[in-house]
Amino acid sequence: MSDEQQTEQQRVLANSAVMAAGTIVSRMSGFVRSALLAAALGAKLHADLFTIANTIPNMLYILLAGGVVNAVLVPQLVRSMRHDPDGGTAYTSRIITLAGLFLGAVTVLLVVAAPWVMDLFLSSRYDEPALAGQRESIVAFARFCLPQVFFYGMYVLVGQILNARGRFGPMMWAPIANNVISVGVLVVYLFVFGPAQGSEVFGAFSHQQELLLGLGATAGIVAQFVVLVPYLRASGYRYRPRFDFRHTGLAHTLRLGVWTVLFVIVNQVAYTVVVRLAGGGTASSGDGTGYTVYSSTFLIMMVPHSVVTVSLATAILPRLSARAAADDRDGLVHTLTDTLRTALAVVIPFALLLPVIAPDLARVIWGYGAAASSTGLYAASLALFGGGLVFFTVHYLMLRGFYALELNRTVFWIQCAVAATNIVAAVWLVHSVDAEHTSPALVVAYSASYLVGSVVSYAVLRRRLGGLRTPTQVRFLARLAIAVLVATAAAALAAYLLHRLQDDPNWAVAGVWVLLVGTVDVVVLVLMARVLRLREVTTVVDTLTSRVPLLRRP
């Protein structure tokens, strides 16, 4: 790697580190929320009733409006700010008015149609008389939570307006307000109602419980939107309702964004199938795993992706777009492949370490209250998510290359293959295992779908660009594999020795062991990286240590 290339990589890492800070704080507060939710509701049918109902609004927003906002409205906002005489003020007001009317009408219809909406996401087992109370609870939760569709949409729209005006921080930190309110609601719930016990972990909720959890969840999303409003005014923008929607240029932009909108729809259809299958796991058996376990372990798996891969992708996308516009294919390939190696240098070690620490990590995060005896259900799914993380990382970064080249239609067809694989694999695997292994089966289906996605997206982009420096990638992966296998073996040995001391540690001891095993893994990995001259690993370490005063080199 030349000095110029290394300088660019360090610049990308530095920018990514700044963006990752808000994500880390948000994720940490999200872990607290996840732990309290497990302590209060457990990990079985009782928890799924709330978790599914509270997830549906975000899914419906993305399905109904998310693709339009991101693919259609945002480019128009940026264009109007640059070319309109008023700096895009009138156009922005027009868009906010239109979005508010649309989202408001859709939200009212969804709340009224809540029982039929939930039929799309619930397993047929919820129609059984024995689960009538549980079905009533999930519909009640849906009525309280579906207003989130409006506030999700306005949050994303206002956040994107701020981004277009150069205010990136508020949207990054706003979700923390949601997590803080959610944590407060769960603390009140535990104080008033206590953790679910005995048969309660399979039962319905009382009206008071539904009211507290449902309205509390929606209050968090409202706060997430409201905290952005003062920043919108501080950016110099003043909203005035505008109803002159005709001849705004939206039709042209919609045609350009149609493939991205279709991409979103395909993703959400596949996820709807996953939610429906997951809900059947807890509804069919007392020992079943379902959406609560799947979504909670997915949250952990996405930490390195959100902190590392998303930050890197955000930092490089302007460079990729500029080089694509200049027809600098070599420069585009260089930036994309260097970033891919940097991301994999973090993601692959985490993926292999995950099965080693999964049992103890599950105890630390979910080993409280109603879920204290169910940590093994979390551990199995958590251990299996590592492979999916690696494949998803490759696929995600390859898509940044397609977007830079404006090949949105190609992305759509590739995502169709991903979604089809996920649906087929999920249906087959879930029906091939018992209810306890529903969540692990869905994890394997997820990994299989992104294995297909990573292979296809890499192959298609490689052909389009005339190569992706594949020999360099293979040599890097071979050296990284050696370093990671040695580090993981050392971590596994450390975990084995610690468990010889105490086979079933409590959550506090398990937390110490996770830190010790993780430290062994990182130390051995860094030593092996320096021996094997894996600059992708050492550069990440040097970037991180340079930001911690006590670890800076003199």
Q: Do residues 50 and 213 make contact, with C-beta atoms less than 8 angstroms apart? A: yes
| CB atoms closer than 10 angstroms to residue 261 | 20
Closest listed residue to residue 38, CA positions, set 370, 436, 507, 438: 370
| Contacts with 458 (C-beta within 8 Å, 6 or more apart), sequence order | 394, 398, 468
| CB atoms closer than 10 angstroms to residue 327 | 8
| Contacts with 236 (C-beta within 8 Å, 6 or more apart), sequence order | 165
Tokens of 314: 């955000």
**Whether pLDDT at 176 is above 90:** no
CA distances from 347 to 45, 153, 220 (A): 32, 31, 31
The confidence score (pLDDT) of residue 62 equals: 80
Determine the average pLDDT of the residues in 83-90: 79
Q: Per this entry, what is the length of the chain? A: 554
Share of the chain above pLDDT 70, in %: 84
End-to-end CA distance of the chain: 25
Determine the average pLDDT of the residues in 368-387: 90
Q: To the nearest whole number, what is the mean pLDDT of the chain?
A: 85
The confidence score (pLDDT) of residue 548 equals: 45
Over residues 227-261, the pLDDT tens digits come to 999 998 888 888 888 887 666 555 655 565 677 77
| Contacts with 494 (C-beta within 8 Å, 6 or more apart), sequence order | 516, 517, 520
Q: How far apart are CA 425 and CA 448, in angstroms?
A: 7
Burial class of 198 by CB neighbour count within 10 A (0 to 12, 13 to 18, 19+): exposed
Closest listed residue to residue 280, CA positions, set 74, 498, 426, 104: 426
H-assigned helices in 285-437: 291-304, 310-325, 329-366, 375-404, 408-430
Q: Do residues 297 and 434 make contact, with C-beta atoms less than 8 angstroms apart? A: no
Amino acid at 419: A
384-398 burial code (b ≥16 CB/10 A, e <16)? bbbbbbbbbbbbbbb
Task: Give the range among 15-29, 60-74, 309-323, 354-368 with minimum mean pLDDT.
Answer: 15-29
Closest listed residue to residue 469, CA positions, set 317, 329, 312: 329
Q: How far apart are CA 362 and CA 344, in angstroms?
A: 24
Q: How far apart are CA 309 and CA 454, in angstroms?
A: 15
Over residues 420-433, the pLDDT tens digits come to 999 999 999 999 99
Task: Give the range among 231-235, 314-318, 543-547 with minimum mean pLDDT.
Answer: 543-547
Tokens of 352: 């292999």
**Whether pLDDT at 224 is above 50:** yes
Tokens of 219: 């209050």
Q: Phi and psi of 277, rounded to 5°?
A: -65, -40
Contacts of 76-84 with CB under 8 Å at 24 or more apart are 76/248, 76/249, 76/250, 76/253, 77/160, 77/161, 77/164, 78/164, 81/164, 81/165
Q: How far apart are CA 105 and CA 109, in angstroms?
A: 6
| CB atoms closer than 10 angstroms to residue 7 | 11
Q: Highest mean pLDDT: which of 3-7, 72-76, 377-381? A: 377-381
Question: How many contiguous H segments (helices) and E segments (strands) does the chain have?
Answer: 22, 0
Tokens of 18: 């700044």
Determine the average pLDDT of the residues in 437-445: 95
Domain ranges of the chain: 44-258
| Contacts with 137 (C-beta within 8 Å, 6 or more apart), sequence order | 49, 204, 205, 210
pTM of the model: 0.85
Determine the average pLDDT of the residues in 210-232: 95
Q: Do residues 528 and 485 make contact, with C-beta atoms less than 8 angstroms apart? A: no
